[in-house]
Amino acid sequence: MRRGYRFAAVWLVMLSAVLAACSDPSSEPSAQRGEPLVTGLPDFTRLVEKEGPAVVNISTVTHRDESSAADQLKQLPEFFQHFFEQFGGEGDMPSLPEQDDTRSLGSGFIISADGYVLTNNHVVAEADEIMVRLQDRRELPAELVGADEQSDLALLKVDAGDLPVVDIGSSADLKVGEWVLAIGAPFGFDSSVTAGIVSAKGRSLPSDSYVPFIQTDVAINPGNSGGPLFNLSGEVVGINSQIFSRSGGYMGVSFAIPMDMAMDVVSQLKDGGKVSRGWLGVLIQEVDRDLAESFDLDSPRGALVSQVLAGSPAEAAGVEPGDVITRFNDETIYRSSELPRWVGLVKPESDVDMVVIRDGEKKTLSVTIGLLPDNPEMALKGGAESDKASPAVKLGLAVREASASELSRLDLKAGVVVTQVSDGPARQAGIQAGDILVTLHNTPINSAADLADAAAALPEEGTVAALVNRDGTPRFLALKLP
């Protein structure tokens, strides 16, 4: 019996020790000891009340083309042209339906009390009339001060004073995971408020080489373009610009132009009506694992130079094809898409250092940055002005050679990567940046020189076929030549 009592006593002592340890604050989980990582959902009401009046709706009108009936007739198939010529009467052309004016809606916000309004370039591009509507229902005609297609920004001016203005913040201070809020007019619904978080920073999109986008999951739809993106302090940190969508509507991936970059563009537009950017003069491509191994890199990183343009700042600095640019102006280059935006931020005629890997060794080159030509296609030709653009440029295409791994992955024997599509037959046909151009008019394309030769041999007018591979799917597209 004594042994039983003794065992019970020992058991009680052990149990007391365990209970004491559990009650000891120092033994509690760290999540309970410290401050909670998430304190709850924010209240946006004060922010909307304060900043909402400075957000505006922007409507535009683009007048129909006043082309003559004869010009319109030329757009019809030959059968109808022949029919109207035979039966249309002497000297009389048929009356074709008139094309209505084009109207569009977007958003913007007032950045100064004397009437400067910031929005997206694509909201007001080619508009003949621009109207700004305030939350107090006033409608004011706006003048386009200047626009920058590369950053998709436009600065407007209305004739009014003492207007409500937004507070301008810094996108550099923005953190991934931070709450943000958008105000705009999706589908024409005025003053709609949506909220979310910052999903990522510094995103590069294939069609926008000069903008390090802020990615968010804020609900952005057509009509939100040009509207402000606020942080919780009520400061504008971005301009809602694009969505990634398979349906045309919101799918949880939205992109905003950083405010720090936007204000630099605004300053230049106010001063001269246009934006000046730095220009290096190289064609670059991504470094994959196989290329990294072949260039003696410890990991896939940097921008691989596939071509140095004649007469460019890069040529003067001694850059060579095959160089891998890993650092530019104290900025590390992890992906090739990062290089254009860092170069674009440098003022022309500035001297910067650039680190390249050549034959497995690091080299530091000093380069004097040039001025990016107004016509992006001219930059791809080395910046040399000419009265007659090359045939490839007339198609609206810029390409680079595809790496062996890119072709192997898609099981292709030939092809070039489309790096840029501008106004012209290529864009009208639906060719996109990132497509692999395999053939043009039944001619295999393996290089930019092949494309130039094939384009030069095209007929002056008519329709030709281009075979492209997009995400592993081959498709023929019809290019209508002017």
Query: Per the structure block, which two tokens stand in for 318?
Result: 């001694």
Catalytic residue, chosen from 152, 208, 323, 450, is 152
- Residues 127 and 282: their CA atoms lie apart, in Å, by 34
User: Does residue 173 have an active-site annotation?
Assistant: no
Contact of 22 with 16, CB cutoff 8 Å = no
The number of CA neighbours under 13 Å toward the Cβ of 254 is 31
Q: Which two tokens stand for residue 129?
A: 């009339």
Which residue out of 104, 225, 306, 403 is catalytically annotated? 225
Q: Which long-range contacts link 261-268 to residues 24+ away (Cβ below 8 Å)? A: 261/151, 261/171, 261/211, 261/212, 261/345, 262/118, 262/151, 262/153, 262/238, 263/168, 264/345, 265/148, 265/151, 265/153, 265/155, 266/111, 266/116, 266/118, 266/153, 266/155, 268/146, 268/148
* Token digits of residue 193: 């408020």
* Catalytic-residue membership of 152: yes
Q: Which of 122, 208, 254, 323 is catalytic?
A: 122
3-state secondary structure 213-228: EEEECCCCCCCCCCCE
Hey, what amino acid is at 358?
Answer: R
- Whether residue 382 contacts residue 354, with contact meaning beta carbons closer than 8 Å, is answered with no
Q: At 340, phi and psi to the nearest 5?
A: -55, -40
- Interatomic CA distance for residues 234 and 109, integer angstroms: 13
Looking at the DSSP bridge assignments, the partners of residue 446 are none
Residues with active-site annotation: 122, 152, 225
